[in-house]
Amino acid sequence: MTEPIRLSKLMSERGICSRREADAFIEKGLVFVDGQRIAELGTRVDPNCSITLAQDAQKQQGQRVTILLHKPVGYVSGQPEPGFIPAVTLINSDNFWPGSGGPPFHPGMLKGLAPAGRLDIDSTGLLVLTQDGRIAKQLIGENSDVEKEYLVRVEGRLSDEGLRLLNHGLELEGKKLRPAKVTWQNDDQLKFILKEGKKRQIRRMCDLVGLHVVGLKRVRIGQVTLGKLPMGQWRYLKADEGF
């Protein structure tokens, strides 16, 4: 016999929404399990049950925005310490990339907008900010399998053994890193493709093999590329795009 599971946890695991969103929908009576409305927080259900959202909940999800920003150096992706500027301050009408499509910007779009992944203060490139818990879970959830691609300019000598270790064989904080794909892009630039994102991971990996990073740019997350998005500007994730 299968053990009942908390409904909000099951909704998160299935990618329907985040746990927080699930609790909000349940409280409002917008979730149906096997055709029955569930409105009590903490309800446990059969893991194999059918879950549907009311039209109001689906409409709310459809109105949530996901934004792609070309982050410059000097901005932090997450909650800043005093004296640091968060990247979300660049999301305004002045920095919208003209001609990229989507609705006009309004300040309400900033409510609940949070970065789905980190990009450190010294790095540039693609940063995703979203109001959608499904996308956040896809990109930064514990079991996320989405690739992130970086171009990394380095100084120093890298041996064949060093390159092998970068691809698979390094540890950070006593834990083995997941396999990466690291290749030379040109004489002084490496291409990294990772499926994880520990704090300053690429810089620390390079330190371990005797390289110094002088420039780092994220150019792709999953199927979405930075493309021609100018530095400091942003655009919406389009309806036909997915990570």
Integer angstrom CA distances of residue 164 from 9, 113, 161, 192, 217: 39, 39, 5, 13, 22
pLDDT for the residue numbered 1: 66
Domain residues of the chain, as ranges?
5-62, 66-132+225-236, 148-221
Contact 154, 189 (CB under 8 A): yes
pLDDT for the residue numbered 219: 98
Contact 33, 49 (CB under 8 A): yes
pLDDT for the residue numbered 215: 97
pLDDT for the residue numbered 62: 67
In this prediction, the residues of the chain whose per-residue pLDDT falls under 70 are 1, 62, 80
Contact 211, 165 (CB under 8 A): no
Matching fold, domains 5-62 and 148-221: no
pLDDT for the residue numbered 189: 98
To the question of pTM greater than 0.85 for the whole model, the response is no
pLDDT for the residue numbered 197: 85
Contact 125, 119 (CB under 8 A): yes
Contacts (Cβ under 8 Å, ≥6 apart) of 185: 151, 191
List the structure tokens of 56: 């109001």
- CATH number listed for the domain at residues 5-62: 3.10.290.10
pLDDT for the residue numbered 108: 84
pLDDT for the residue numbered 149: 98
List the structure tokens of 194: 């990772």
pLDDT for the residue numbered 66: 95
Structurally, at CATH architecture level, domain 66-132+225-236 sits in 2-Layer Sandwich (3.30)
Contacts (Cβ under 8 Å, ≥6 apart) of 23: 8, 41
pLDDT for the residue numbered 58: 83
Annotation says 120 is catalytic:
yes
- CATH class of segment(s) 148-221: alpha beta
Check 46, 94, 120, 132 and give the catalytic one: 120
Integer angstrom CA distances of residue 207 from 133, 171, 183, 200, 201: 34, 12, 17, 11, 10
Alpha-helical regions (H) of 98-240 = 133-140, 160-167, 201-208
